[in-house]
């Protein structure tokens, strides 16, 4: 874990070292996001200012990425179209792999529009010929395939965390572990290096450790860094006590080394 700005911290990474970047930056909602576990300001003077903020950070990150590395950029309806044009500009249109829809279900409704119940995750790669991908399997829903698994589509249906969820730590915009486990398992090679430059409470890092990947989180918030470190320590401790045998291929020592990056 590193406390600091994405732009400054990523410049210190070894060249060609990052296999997967998962970035869940502020969405430019115009609000301060608050919860019991922390808060952050999600406001820019203009959409153009937000795009400029994101561009310079993505540009700096590219130097640290492996030649066949991939980016998952998590945004929403406010900026997804602008973010896709930005990624086309930085990586080329051939670098586009998927426009994923995370359909989460929770939230309010409106009398003025269809209810907004999804986020957008843009999947790009530096090398369209060599990037890693292993199609995740999800339960089939048709009667014909009842009880079987099928390859996931570009619509990912995983519920958002409700207020009673056991994994909730009270941090605003916390994402479910199931979502990050699916994305990392699909897009980062075994033993690969996952970077989350806006890591919040550390869900990406916990998911990566569970899957035997090396991880690094960056966040400007002291509270976020403390939460993420505590979650990682708890995760490694659970493996030490033999309570989380989900990934026998990754040793406890490897998990410990991933936390120290």
pLDDT tens, residue by residue, 92-131: 999 999 999 999 987 778 899 999 999 999 999 999 999 9
pLDDT, mean of residues 136-163: 93
The pLDDT of residue 64 is: 98
Give burial (CB, 10 Å; 0-12/13-18/19+) of 155: exposed
The pLDDT of residue 28 is: 78
pLDDT, mean of residues 253-257: 43
- The full 3-state SS of the chain, as one line of letters, equals CEECCHHHHHCCCCCCCEEEEEECCCCCCCEEEEECCEEEEECCCCHHHHHHHHHHHHHHHHCCEEEEEEEEEEECCCCHHHHHHHHHHHHCHHHEEEEEEEECCCCCCCCCCCCCCEEEEEEEECCCCCCCCCCCEEECCCCCCCCCEEECCCEEECCCCCCCCCCCCCCCCCCCHHHHHHHHHHHCCCCCEEEECCCCCCHHHHHHHHCCCEEEEEECCHHHHHHHHHHHHHHHHHHHCCCCCCCCCCCHHHHHHHHCC
Record the pTM: 0.89
Q: Give the up-direction half-sphere exposure of residue 5: CA atoms within 13 A in the CB hemisphere.
A: 8
**Cβ distance 255 to 209 under 8 Å?**
yes
- At residue 253 the predicted structure's pLDDT band, cuts being 50, 70 and 90, is very low
The pLDDT of residue 51 is: 95
Least confident of 25-34, 107-116, 237-246: 237-246
The pLDDT of residue 38 is: 62
- At residue 37 the predicted structure's pLDDT band, cuts being 50, 70 and 90, is low
- At residue 233 the predicted structure's pLDDT band, cuts being 50, 70 and 90, is very high
- At residue 246 the predicted structure's pLDDT band, cuts being 50, 70 and 90, is very low
In this prediction, what percent of the chain has a pLDDT beyond 70? 86
Task: Give strand pairing partners of 156.
Answer: 102
The pLDDT of residue 39 is: 62
- At residue 57 the predicted structure's pLDDT band, cuts being 50, 70 and 90, is very high
- At residue 257 the predicted structure's pLDDT band, cuts being 50, 70 and 90, is very low
- What domains can you pick out in the chain, each with its CATH number? 2-259 (3.40.50.150)
The pair of structure tokens assigned to 219 is 């966040």
Q: Give the up-direction half-sphere exposure of residue 252: CA atoms within 13 A in the CB hemisphere.
A: 13
- At residue 29 the predicted structure's pLDDT band, cuts being 50, 70 and 90, is confident
């Amino acid at each position: 874990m590193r406390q600091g700005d994405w732009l400054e911290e990523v410049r210190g990474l070894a060249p060609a070292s990052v296999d997967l970047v998962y970035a869940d930056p502020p969405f430019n909602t115009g609000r301060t996001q608050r919860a019991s576990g922390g808060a952050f300001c999600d406001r820019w003077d203009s959409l153009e200012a937000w795009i400029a903020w994101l561009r310079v950070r993505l540009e700096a990150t590219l130097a640290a990425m492996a030649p066949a590395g991939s980016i998952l950029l998590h945004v929403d309806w406010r900026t997804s179209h602008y973010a896709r044009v930005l990624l086309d500009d930085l990586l080329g249109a051939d670098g586009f792999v998927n426009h994923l829809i995370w359909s989460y279900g929770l939230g309010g409704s409106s009398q003025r529009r269809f209810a907004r119940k999804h986020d957008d995750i843009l999947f790009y790669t530096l090398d369209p010929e060599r990037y890693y991908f292993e199609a995740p399997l999800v339960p089939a829903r048709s009667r014909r395939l009842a009880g079987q698994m099928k390859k996931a589509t570009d619509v990912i249906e995983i519920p958002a965390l409700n207020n009673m969820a056991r994994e909730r730590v009270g941090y605003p915009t916390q994402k479910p572990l199931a979502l990050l486990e699916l994305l990392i398992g699909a897009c980062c090679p075994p033993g690969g290096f996952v970077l989350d430059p806006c890591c919040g409470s550390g869900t990406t890092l916990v998911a990566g450790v569970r899957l035997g990947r090396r991880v690094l989180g960056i966040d400007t918030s002291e509270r976020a860094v403390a939460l993420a470190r505590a979650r990682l320590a708890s995760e490694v401790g659970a493996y030490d006590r033999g309570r989380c045998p989900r990934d026998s291929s990754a040793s406890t020592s490897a998990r410990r080394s991933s936390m120290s990056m």
